[in-house]
Amino acid sequence: MNRFRTTLGLLFAALLLILVAGITFTVGWRPFIGPRVRRVTPRKIQSTPERLARGEYLVRNVVDCMACHAEHDWTAHDAPLLPNTLGAGQDMNILKGFPGKVYAPNITPDGETGAGNWSDDQLARAIREGIGHDGHALFPFMPYQNFRILSDEDLASIIVYLRSLPPIPRQQPATQLIFPVKYLIRTVPQPLYVPLGEPDLATPEKRGKYLVTIAGCNECHTPQDGHGQALRGMDFAGGFILDGPWGRVASANITPDPSGISYYNQSIFTQAMRTGFVVARKLNQIMPWHTYRGMTKEDMAGVFAYIKSFKPVRHHVDNNESPTFCKLCRQTHGGGNRN
Ligand code: HEC
Ligand code: HEC
């Protein structure tokens, strides 16, 4: 009887060990115990005219917070902001394919429904480290993994600008992800404990790398597998599907391959970003040209210099052809059958 009990006990211990090892070496323990969270500090960010101007420029023309944290008329070519929605959030479920219901929260300084009562460091932590004011792991559709490289000064500027927005009372529902995604995303946020100085902008290419990263061009231009992971070897090669009130389009291949934009020069690029037309071809409004059009000449040149340095990837994507299956990115998009 005793021996039987010992064997059973051992068997149970062995099973437990396998389970523990299984979790440790696969998803890890974060889905169960919660994300890595840095405790917020009481630091205050000082508002200066320089920070306000820099923050407004970054938010409105580069990092594009308002693509998500404001409402737009997505049926028009320049996707204009709807009045009285700047920073008040958006129902993101206009975009098809989310694992649940996703809402961009109100980040205006309204005390009841927005960020009015969140501290500067709570905002800083949300933007660069992916932790909401209440400690929850943010769904990485909010591009905090890209924002992670924002310098302390650029981050401070963004927060100063957000604090200057007119408060709008609008309660957005909380994001509700399906099982197991709501637990798995707890592995994504990573705290930052070191100060981040000014980025290296010594060459146009380095400037472009910083801007392209914080602008999140990869979020749309690099195709993903079914779990939101970037497809290997397909950086910036397009084919990511964006289906919503703007229509169903695939992102473009923006690598310098002949199937991509090898024929581009600075003037075609700048014109595309400033007008939404590639020569005579109209770009769909889900491509945020209407945001980037306000980029300075120097930043525009930097972005183009960096894009030209991408590894060429052969991948035909053409939204003017009818969608066909593509064996490279496993999506259905125009030009898919030519890959
Ligand atoms: C692609 C869409 C998108 C972009 C771009 C975006 N956000 Fe978000 N943001 C979201 C979504 C969705 C959430 C909610 C995620 C969740 O709760 O899981 C969020 C959450 C947040 C939060 C956390 C709110 C809280 O509960 O504490 C802050 C702060 C925030 N965003 C600020 C910004 C700022 C500043 C920018 C630009 C630098 C930005 N976001 C860009 C979609 C976006
Ligand atoms: C929200 C998603 C999204 C983001 C973010 C985005 N793009 Fe796009 N982009 C698209 C889509 C979709 C198209 C295809 C539009 C079409 O075919 O009408 C496109 C097209 C383009 C084109 C035109 C290529 C051609 O067909 O000639 C260029 C150039 C481009 N994007 C560059 C960029 C750069 C640079 C960034 C970052 C600074 C960026 N995009 C960020 C979605 C996005």
- The whole-number pLDDT of residue 102 equals 98
Task: Count other C-beta atoms under 10 Å from residue 226's C-beta.
Answer: 7
Cβ distance 145 to 188 under 8 Å? yes
Centre of ligand 2 to C-alpha 283, Å, is 8
The ligand with the least distance to the CA atom of 278 is 2
**What separation in Å is there between the alpha carbon of 218 and the centre of ligand 2?**
10
Ligand nearest to the CA of 100: 1
Length of the chain: 339
Residue 133, ligand 1, Cβ within 6 A: yes
pLDDT of residue 193 exceeding 90:
yes
Q: Whose alpha carbon is nearest atom 8 of ligand 2?
A: 287
Over residues 26-49, mean pLDDT: 92
Reply yes or no on whether the pLDDT at 191 is more than 90: yes
Q: At 93, list the tokens.
A: 């479920």
CB 241 within 8 A of CB 250: yes
In this structure, of 1-10, 145-154, 246-255, the range with the lowest mean pLDDT score is 1-10
Whether 296 contacts 206, CB under 8 Å: no
pLDDT score for 21: 74
Asked whether 192 and 127 are in contact (CB, 8 A), the reply is no
- Name the least confident of 2-11, 55-64, 159-168, 235-244: 2-11
Q: Output the six-digit token pair for 302.
A: 């930097």
Q: What is the mean pLDDT of residues 270-289?
A: 98
Q: How far apart are CA 84 and CA 1, in angstroms?
A: 75
Asked if residue 222 has its Cβ within 6 Å of ligand 2, the reply is: no
Please give the torsion angle defined by the CA atoms of residues 62, 319, 263 and 202, in that order, rounded to the nearest 10 degrees: 20
Indicate whether residue 303 lines ligand 2 (CB < 6 A).
Answer: yes
The per-residue b/e assignment along 262-287, b for 16 or more CB within 10 angstroms, e otherwise, is: eebeeeebbebbeebebeeeebbbbb
- The predicted model gives 87-110 an average pLDDT of 97
Q: Does position 9 have pLDDT exceeding 80, yes or no?
A: no
Instruction: Identify whether the C-beta of residue 243 lies closer than 8 Å to the C-beta of residue 286.
Output: no
Contact 90, 70 (CB under 8 A): yes
- Name the percent of the chain lying above pLDDT 70: 99
Mean pLDDT to the nearest integer, 187-205 = 97
pLDDT of residue 3: 72
With a 6 Å cutoff on the Cβ, whether 63 touches ligand 2 is no
Question: Which ligand does the CA of 316 lie closest to?
Answer: 2
Distance 87 CA to ligand 1 centre (A): 10
What separation in Å is there between the alpha carbon of 196 and the centre of ligand 1? 21
107 lines ligand 1 (CB under 6 A): yes
Please, are residues 317 and 211 in contact by the beta-carbon 8 Å criterion? no
- Ligand 1 pocket member 89 (CB < 6 A): no
Lowest-confidence segment of 13-27, 118-132, 212-226 by average pLDDT: 13-27
Counting atoms of ligand 2 from 1, which one is nearest the CA of 272? 29
Question: Quick check: 74 and 244 in contact, CB under 8 A?
Answer: yes
Q: Give the C-alpha separation, 48 to 67, whole Å.
A: 25
Distance of CA 317 to the CA centre of its chain: 22
**pLDDT value of residue 144:** 98
pLDDT at residue 154 tops 90: yes
- 272 in ligand 2 pocket by Cβ < 6 Å? yes
- Per-residue pLDDT band for 177 (boundaries 50, 70, 90) equals very high
252 alpha carbon – ligand 2 mean position (Å): 6
CA distance 161 to 78: 23
Under 8 Å between Cβ of 330 and 232? no
Looking at the predicted structure, is the pLDDT value of residue 10 above 80? no
Q: Tell me the C-alpha distance between 269 and 291, whole Å.
A: 14
242 CB within 6 A, ligand 2? yes
Task: State the distance from the centre of ligand 1 to the C-alpha of 161, rounded, in angstroms.
Answer: 15
pLDDT of residue 216: 97
Ligand number, closest to the Cα atom of 61: 2
* Residue 92: per-residue pLDDT: 98
Of all atoms in ligand 1, which is nearest to the CA of residue 138? Answer: 18
Tokens of 192: 């930052």
In the predicted model, what is the mean pLDDT of the chain?
95
210-221 burial, b if ≥16 CB within 10 A, otherwise e? bbbbbbbbbbbb
Q: Which of 272, 266, 274 is nearest to 294 (CA)?
A: 274
φ/ψ bin of 43: left (φ > 0), alpha (ψ from -120 to 50), beta (otherwise): beta
Q: How far apart are CA 223 and CA 48, in angstroms?
A: 40
Q: 329: pLDDT confidence band, cut at 50, 70 and 90? A: very high
Ligand 1 geometric centre to CA of 69 (Å): 7
